[in-house]
A and B are shown apart, each in its own frame.
Chain A
Amino acid sequence: DAGVIQSPRHEVTEMGQEVTLRCKPISGHNSLFWYRQTMMRGLELLIYFNNNVPIDDSGMPEDRFSAKMPNASFSTLKIQPSEPRDSAVYFCASSLWGGRAEDTQYFGPGTRLTVL
């Protein structure tokens, strides 16, 4: 298994443009998480899904951010319109079934987003 797959690995865009980040979780995992990492705020959870259903999106910074999981093997995080302060590394992670201490979240390599 290639683990959690994220694309693109790097994205440079201009302010105001729409950005779409993609994630493919590990096959068989039921939970998917989106995190953002910045120097100022560290690693913070944006949203997570169980069985493709969004469970907690309280970490989504504002309405410009949206996330979907149309099926068990694919999720997107969209920013529209993007702003320079959105520049960060965005991580996707998946786990077999979150909420249990024995579950492990497996992280993808991250997408480094730069908004000019």
Chain B
Amino acid sequence: AQRVTQPEKLLSVFKGAPVELKCNYSYSGSPELFWYVQYSRQRLQLLLRHISRESIKGFTADLNKGETSFHLKKPFAQEEDSAMYYCALTGGGAQKLVFGQGTRLTINP
């Protein structure tokens, strides 16, 4: 069964500190992993996907198949990064996004 686990419901760091939001997944095949973000009073939107290997707003995420993880990282947090972050996966050509429970990130000034 497909499953995404985000162990931290809440994460609070100071501005300028490094940030890491954890995501672990369970999937028997080759998954496609995504990070979605929802800023206050905005829609849920795609932040980045592993297949693109890109950095968005200073965030990166590396797919580690050995550890079945897709942690989201940023070296220096900014206040505007405060938001709800969701890790999600699809697999096997399926179009279903399976979401983790989400992590609420708060950046303190």
Contact = CB atoms under 8 A, between A and B. Distances in A.
Contacts of B44: 91, 107
Nearest to B50: A101
B43 A31 contact: no
A109 interface: yes
A98 B96 CA distance: 8
Contacts of B97: 33, 45, 105
A51 interface: no
A35 to B, nearest CB: 8
A43, A95, A104, A108, most chain B CB atoms within 10 A:
A43
A45, A56, A101, most chain B CB atoms within 10 A:
A101
Interface residues of A, number: 26
Contacts of B90: 99, 101
A42 B49 contact: no
A108 B49 contact: no
Interface stretch (B11-19, B20-28, B67-75, B98-106): B98-106
A106 B54 CA distance: 19
Contacts, number: 48
Interface residues of B, number: 20
Given A42-B99, A42-B100, A43-B86, A99 B43 contact: no
A95 B45 CA distance: 12
Nearest to A43: B99
Interface in B70-109: 86, 90, 93-102
24 contacts: A31-B95, A33-B95, A33-B97, A42-B101, A42-B102, A43-B99, A43-B102, A45-B96, A48-B96, A56-B94, A56-B95, A91-B44, A99-B90, A99-B93, A99-B94, A99-B95, A102-B52, A104-B46, A105-B97, A106-B43, A107-B44, A107-B45, A108-B43, A109-B43
Interface of B: 32, 43-46, 49, 51-52, 86, 90, 93-102
